[in-house]
């Protein structure tokens, strides 16, 4: 035990002596958190819209007015023919264009039916899906209004049972969608346009008095940052932990001091623990710091127990640091250690459910995520911080993480050779 203390002391001396290290460990990640939380946002705003209006009618103008008023769209230009609009998409000026055909209003009134065309730059599928969904929402909304006015104008009474859409949604967690309403404009999936553009939204008059009410629990304002910040904290703590521990032993190999340690009677586990603990402590402090920033800057709800978060983090960090040490024991130079860590980290992080939901992955990929410690931590952070899950809810995570910690660190101890 005393031996471990001596290693600890030495490691801390070395870390604190390095002038670059401290800011790198504590300030960089916080800057990253601030930037990432703002950058990692799938909500799409400022979609650049080009219009081709071939109809001078009032209906067309009002429709355009609706797009102008939308926070999601910027109208960047008007074109007279589709070639011109197409060019605007090609050179990146516009994300989509909408074509209002000749006699749009007349067809609508005469045939009870009119057609609009929209073309979307779909290279970024997510963005295209959203752009299309927003477009549909606005058009449907306009359609309702227009129909309502027209029907009341010609004095045809509405079905008494029809529940009309309310404009704007209540700010609370419960939105009442009547059968006339369009999907919430907050949706973020590329396929949602298929739904809104599908025959479903033809049902505009209720066949029955059934309404569908939806509620968003745990994050009623659908704040994306609330969702992302806990995950980003995981990312940062993982990065710092892996790199610090991954570079550490290999650095001693490169400068040769490891030989000197290897001829001492030190026990392998003492050495590994001595190398692990300093970074474990640093990473936990870093996590605390990050959570504080999350609370103060992003107002992240701490629904569950912070003790549980720290308890799980302590376990998780043993795994992450153990992986770093393992990398350190199998590599010869810092460059190698760095590349290997980078390679595995990027895969761990992409497969962690941090940026894209795990449920969306194919079955084989979901199976892989069961071996991904980062995925467990991301999930636990979100469960405990945002939903208030308790220790029983995450017991499986705890068990898996413990097994992982034991396995990885035993491997690191076994792999560390005092004699070659």
Partner 1 sequence: MEYAISANGLTKKFGAFTAVNAITFNVKKGEIFGFLGANGAGKTTAMRMLNGLSRPTAGEAQVAGYDVYRETERIKQHIGYMSQKFSLYEDLTPKENIHFYGGIYGGSLSFLKQKSKELITELGMEAYANTLVKNIPLGWKQKLSFSIAIMHQPAIVFLDEPTGGVDPITRRQFWEMIYKVANEGMTVFVTTHYMDEAEYCDRVSIMVDGRIEALDSPGNLKKQFKAETMNDVFLKLTRP
Partner 2 sequence: MKQLGIFIKKEIYHILRDKRTLVILLGMPLALVLLFGFAITNEINNARIALVDLAQDELSQEISARLAASDYFTIEDQLPQVADIEPHFQKGKSKLVVVFPEQLQSNTRRGIPTSIQLIADATDPNTATTLINYAQAIIYSELQESTDNPKPPLHIQTEVKMLYNPRLKSVYMFVPGVMTVILMLVSAMMTSIAITREKELGTMEVLLVSPLRPPLIVIGKVIPYILLSLINTAVILMLGTFVFGMPVEGSLALLGLESLLFVVTSLGLGILISTRTESQQVAMLISLMALMLPTILLSGFIFPIESMPKLLQIISNIIPAKWFIIIIKNIMLKGTGFEFVWKETLILLGMMFLFIAASVRNFKIRLA
Q: Which does 127 bind (CB under 5 to 8 A by kind): partner 1, partner 2, none?
A: partner 2
Residue 4: partners with Cβ closer than 8 Å, 6 or more residues away: 270, 273, 274, 277
Q: How far is the CB of 269 from partner 2 (least distance, A)?
A: 26
Q: How far is the CB of 231 from partner 2 (least distance, A)?
A: 10
Residue span 264-293 as binding mask against partner 1, x where in contact by CB under 8 A, dash where not: xxxx--------------------------
* The one among 20, 255, 296, 363 contacting partner 1 by CB under 8 A: 255
Applying CB under 8 A, the span of 1-9, 259-267, 353-361, 400-408 interacting with partner 2 comes to 353-361
Note whether 57 binds partner 2 by CB under 8 A: no
Where is 50: in which H helix or E strand? strand 47-53
Spatial strand order of the sheet with 73-79 comes to: 73-79, 47-53, 96-100
Note whether 418 binds partner 1 by CB under 8 A: yes
- Answer for the pair 227, 334: CB distance below 8 angstroms, yes or no: no
Between 240 and 315, CB nearer to partner 2: 240
Determine the Cα–Cα distance for residues 217 and 200; give it in Å rounded to an integer: 26
* The one among 91, 157, 260, 419 contacting partner 2 by CB under 8 A: 91
359: DSSP letter: G
Q: How far is the CB of 188 from partner 2 (least distance, A)?
A: 3
Give the count of beta carbons closer than 10 Å to the beta carbon of residue 230. Answer: 27
Q: Which does 263 bind (CB under 5 to 8 A by kind): partner 2, partner 1, none?
A: partner 1
- The tokens for 348 are 């761990």
Note whether 123 binds partner 2 by CB under 8 A: yes
Place of tokens 């931590």: 377
Note whether 328 binds partner 2 by CB under 8 A: no
Note whether 210 binds partner 2 by CB under 8 A: yes
Q: How many CA atoms lie within 13 A of 316 on its CB side?
A: 29
Note whether 415 binds partner 2 by CB under 8 A: no
Residue 31: partners with Cβ closer than 8 Å, 6 or more residues away: none
């Amino acid at each position: 035990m005393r031996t471990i203390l001596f290693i600890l002391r030495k490691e801390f001396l070395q870390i604190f002596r390095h002038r670059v290290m401290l800011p790198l460990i504590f300030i960089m990640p916080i800057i990253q958190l601030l930037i990432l939380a703002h950058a990692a946002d799938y909500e799409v705003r400022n979609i650049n819209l080009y219009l081709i209006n071939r109809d001078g009618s009032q209906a067309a103008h009002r429709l355009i007015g609706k797009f102008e008023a939308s926070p999601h769209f910027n109208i960047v230009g008007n074109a007279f023919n589709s070639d011109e609009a197409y060019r605007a998409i090609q050179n990146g000026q516009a994300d989509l264009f909408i074509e209002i055909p000749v006699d749009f209003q007349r067809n609508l009134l005469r045939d009870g039916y009119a057609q609009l065309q929209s073309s979307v730059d779909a290279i970024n599928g997510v963005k295209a899906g959203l752009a299309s969904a927003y477009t549909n929402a606005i058009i449907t909304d306009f359609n309702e209004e227009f129909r309502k006015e027209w029907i009341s104008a010609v004095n045809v009474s509405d079905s008494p049972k029809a529940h009309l859409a309310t404009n704007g949604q209540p700010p609370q967690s419960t939105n009442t969608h009547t059968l006339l309403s369009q999907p919430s404009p907050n949706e973020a999936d590329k396929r949602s346009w298929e739904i809104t553009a599908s025959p479903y939204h033809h049902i505009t008059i209720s066949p029955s008095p059934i309404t569908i009410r939806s509620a968003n629990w745990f994050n009623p304002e659908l704040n994306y940052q609330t969702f992302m910040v806990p995950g980003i904290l995981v990312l940062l703590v993982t990065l710092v932990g892996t790199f610090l521990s991954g570079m550490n032993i290999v650095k001693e190999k490169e400068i040769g001091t490891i030989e000197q340690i290897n001829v001492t009677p030190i026990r392998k586990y003492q050495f590994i623990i001595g190398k692990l603990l300093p970074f474990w402590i640093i990473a936990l402090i870093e996590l605390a710091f990050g959570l504080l920033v999350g609370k103060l800057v992003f107002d992240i709800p701490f629904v569950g127990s912070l003790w549980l978060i720290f308890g799980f983090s302590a376990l998780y960090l043993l795994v992450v640091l153990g992986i770093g040490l393992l990398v350190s024991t199998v590599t010869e130079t810092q460059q190698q250690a760095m590349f290997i860590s980078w390679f595995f980290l990027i895969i761990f992080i992409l497969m962690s459910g941090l940026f894209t939901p795990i449920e969306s992955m194919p079955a084989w990929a979901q199976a892989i995520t069961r071996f991904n410690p980062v995925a467990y931590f991301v999930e636990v952070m979100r469960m405990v911080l945002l939903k208030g899950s308790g220790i029983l809810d995450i017991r499986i995570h705890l068990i898996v993480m413990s097994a992982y910690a034991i396995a990885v660190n035993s491997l690191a101890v076994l792999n560390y050779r005092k004699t070659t």
